[in-house]
Structure 1
Amino acid sequence: MKSKKKMKRKRMKKGMLLAELYRLFTVRRLMTGIFLVAIIAVISVSDLISIDSINWPAELKQSICDQLQITLVFDRYKSLYVIAASICTVTTFPSDIKNHVLPYIRQRTDFDSMMNARLFAIAAYIIVIMIGGFLLAGVVLNPFMTIETRGSSLYGIFQPLMNSKAAWIYLVLMSFNLAMSIIPVCYLAAAVAILKPDEYVAVGAGFFVFYLLFYFTGSLPWILSYSSLTSEPGRASVGEVIYHVVFFTICSLAAAKCVKAVMQKRFLNGMD
């Protein structure tokens, strides 16, 4: 009997996860996220685009990796990526609360399975749209710029990649690092959106949480500075790259606990 119950729970958890993934990874929502990210990336380097540059030799063209990396130093562009991710993910929480969907979901599965599935799906979605958006932006910018960079010595352990088409790999790593940094921001924004179920609040919360994190960690050493860690993947060593992933994972887990606590409180108060 116990084994049957365990199997049933596993099927329920798997079904819940698949349901959340199907919900976010619809063609419309996925394309919306990717195009929003790509548009922001292209706009961020639009000053360097000119029709004449199409016919320039590769040596005279700006590097896509260089310029997108520079834009990530500035908070205004990173905040736009946060808003794009929030529009596609965080807004699902107030929508479900307003439409009274949560009681029906809870009838099919337990609280932890429901929240874990949703939070995992959000994380996966953000990673996919960031990587997809940056790659799409790279394709759009490729006629005007070049993926290779002449300043490859600045890229540390990634230097061997930067003088060839393998620089696309660094573009993926750059967008993955950005995605990992946005996940905990969206989780915290979701907690706010649960307390105040409104789509505009959900989007605005991501923006304000982002700037609060940057404000309170801006003066800290780079190892704890959200601004520094989101600007680029670790370049000095493999250990630094791993540290970035571990740091953002810990932040995401802490933010996920916050979301669960807020949602649990809402259920206990009968406000679902």
Structure 2
Amino acid sequence: MENFTLSNGVSIPAVGYGTYLADCDSAAVVENALRAGYRHFDTASFYGNEAELGRALQQCGAARGMLFLTSKLWKTELGYRQALDAFERSLEKLGTDYLDLYLIHWPRPDDLSAEWAELDRGTWRALEELYHAGRVRAIGVSNFLPHHLRSLMETAEVAPMVNQIEFHPGYPQTWNVEFCKAHGILPEAWSPLGRTRVLDDPFLRELAAGYGKSVAQLCLRFALQRGVLPLPKSSAPERMAANLDIFDFTISDADMDRILTLPQFGWSGLHPDFPKQQP
């Protein structure tokens, strides 16, 4: 497994195991992920599976030092005091005394009329305190767009180290990714395989076949070559292993260009500044 290095020098496995809607209540699923080679597990308070993931990792006998654990605070937990309380709840549920990465899940609450910039800044102040206290090794955000990041960084003492965003062929968020790179922020990809429309796309199928890989493997390699850390999820052992078998080929520059200029498709419809749109 290769690694990325965050702006503060912390090493993070280059592919993570996304746990949204995953069966973390089954120690067998988590054990299969560990056996496949995953050490980086991504969860969130909103996922409702932190306690299950923590128990499964303990049942599997995984040493805490070999793991990279990420969690996130939800829209209802924005604000200085709420963020500190949310962090403690996540630690308790995961059964650990520190996190490797802690993120603000969304930049705005569901009430889009709320003063999101002040909420973000108060929340970030809490994350900075946790970081300085050694309770978390790295801090960042999720689903932030460049204007959200600019606002946060105007008052931040510690710059975000990660921005976890929707990213896949058909929705590569090029400007957001470039903005993050320019400011030393590692982009992470949720939904790096897109949806059925992405995996069944004839062009991507043909392109993947030329490399002797699946479309899923092509999507994950595409993320890595864009400097984006993918977080695939699967409960099937063979797909878990296949999603890590992406370090033995390189997508050509010409094919990267073709993927980057595909028309938009496979988008979830989720946008932080607007009600959910039709994908």
Larger Rg: 1
Higher relative contact order (CA 8 A, sep 6+): 1
Task: Return the structure number with greater strand share.
Answer: 2
More helix by share: 1
Smaller-chain TM-score bracket: under 0.3
Compute the TM-score of the two structures, normalised by the length of structure 2.
0.23
TM-score, with length taken from structure 1:
0.24
